[in-house]
Structure 1
Amino acid sequence: MSQFHRLTIKDVRHETRDAVSIAFEIPQSLQQQFHFTQGQHLVLRAHLAGEEVRRSYSICSGVNDGELRVAVKRVAGGRFSAYANEQLKPGQSLEVMAPAGRFHVPLDPARRGQYLAVAAGSGITPILSIIKSTLENEPLSQVTLVYGNRSSASTLFREQLANLKNRYLQRLNLVLVFSREQQDIDLYNGRIDATKCQQLFARWLAVDQLDAAFICGPQAMSETVRDSLRASGMAAERIHCELFLAAGDNRKREARETARALDPQLSQVTLIRDGRALAFELPRNSLSLLDAGNAQGADLPYSCKAGVCSTCKCKVIEGEVEMDSNHALEDYEVAAGYILSCQSFPLSERLVLDFDQP
């Protein structure tokens, strides 16, 4: 899964003024590896001005669409997003990892499901894949989408969502919330905050009857919606969140620097990758295990380095680590010894990590 494959770009479509979607040609030899599940993402790699740049982008295609397409929204100062929006053309190629991620529930054609999806901005990308796939493959299920944007002009996939609404008139409830464009219904104006959630849930949804909720957007919004659903009686295991970027914590970094100065101990670290073992010494409270391993030439997989995408996931075979942030692993995975190496630092004298564990 962590191997890059060079794929040719089949199509580049301008979705809004500051967002494009990119479809890839998948050769027959890679069809199985690039088979995807709704809600998954791709890690893309390019070399820009002599520097390697990796980014994760969610798949926006439905599982029945017959194509593999991601969306890239331009962000301020974003090197890869600017490159994608300004320079990428059909016929060019990018290095791409196979699809990954678990932002979904298995589809069941016999299920009479009730689903809620909440997105803001480019958070609609994996949500669109989930909605399309669910409506097509679960003909008895219903979906409510609450989607926040500044205005209708900035709404990513606006036409596709309108077409889905027309196609599934009785099964898709579409609620567009705009912060800078006035709408006739006051409930649809503003931002998706705690008050808005309370109003929407009270008027539109029987939260306790939802089979699953999918949330994707900024961290603050995602946590607000999650907490509102829990407060309304929804079980935590039915709430699924996907973050594009998590807020950092400078306090932990400062605490590590202080701890290293007071107690400069070394840990003996062994990394298992592709069946080979690499051993080295690492000062505690210095580099993350991901950065330290790659500095030693381990070529460990990664993308976001923010504890969000799970590309750098591995398993602790021996020893103990401290994981600063985790927005990707489930509780049962952590209990089984899995960590995010980009967010983890050694605590024990000896540490063995296995990157080959599924």
Structure 2
Amino acid sequence: MLSLWDSWPLPLETAPPSSCSPPRSSCSARQRSCSCAHSVRPIVPPPATPRASPQYVHNSLGAHAVITNIDVTLRDGGYRNSFNFSPEYALAHARSSVASGFDWVEIGYRKGSSRPELTDGLTAHCDDEYIAAMAREVGPEHIGIMVHPGNLGEHDLDEAWSAGARLLRICFSPSDPRRSLECAQRAVEIGYVVCINVTRISTVAPKRLRRIINAVSGLGVTALYLADSNGSLLPDEVHALVESLISGHELAVGMHAHNHLGLALVNTIRAVDAGATWVDSAVLGMGKGAGNLVAEQWLAYLSQRRAGSDRFDLGSVLELSTRLGESVVEAAPRLDVTDMLLGYFDLSIEHSPRLAEIPDRHAQVRAAGLLAGADS
């Protein structure tokens, strides 16, 4: 399986316009891209938390599917407050999240984000003590972590498992695919539920995405996540992308939406309609840039429009929303002009500081267009 990557990396490619996607704006300025365990305090699990009854939805294939919901507030929201959630808040958040009906609480990164030297705080590192405390609070069956494989030491996966993590989400690295695949294989062997997250999906060419799927298939990975990190995809594009990937392999498809263009909710609905069965959201939408799919809106939509509405406790998630807003000032919803330009021009968050320094809005738009051309 790993031999598929002998010729990796492919030349950087941009996705050609899909024949099943609507045409983009013709505006010339808009450039787009169509293992021994470390000793930790043993977990004494609380009485088993009853798992909510499955939530079945209809998709465009006419099939019944179960939606798995992940609360990513403590991890993705950490980009807004330097991952500095207090231990007390993190515990209370996880407890309320599970009470609201989330299947998994992603409690942070293990050993840092893609730039670990710039990330600090409780949820940036997920040490064993923190994982164990969270697992004791809500049960290991609700605890997820995200990793960049290049940040991990030899025993990190074993130690995190021993501490109580059960869901492992791997940020797939195009520059080092072998390490990502080896990490996934090892995690499956340990017993994790494993998701592969393909970030900046709007810039990934179909050929490359298909190679990722072919390499991951057969490893025992549960889900392949499409992360719209740049917040640039449009609803019809999301539907066409998911629909094109939903068959021919055993992987579930997940959607991680960002809200730079205000489309996170509708994009997620379209993804689920096309067959996606794993969904990320964050309380108050707290996340990188303009933020993620707003959990309160998503659970309200599911409760109102989908079967299994008794699965969710809207009162609990709304209380959690209020608590987060009162406890973490950086959690306040935002839609910065710069974030909108990043979404429009399909640019990564790394360009944000440079654009934010430009005071004139017209000049800002021109600069974003030039950056998009350089990135394409």
Using the size of structure 1 for normalisation, the TM-score is 0.30
More strand by share: 1
Structure with the greater alpha carbon radius of gyration:
1
RCO greater where, 1 or 2, for CA within 8 Å and sep 6 or more? 2
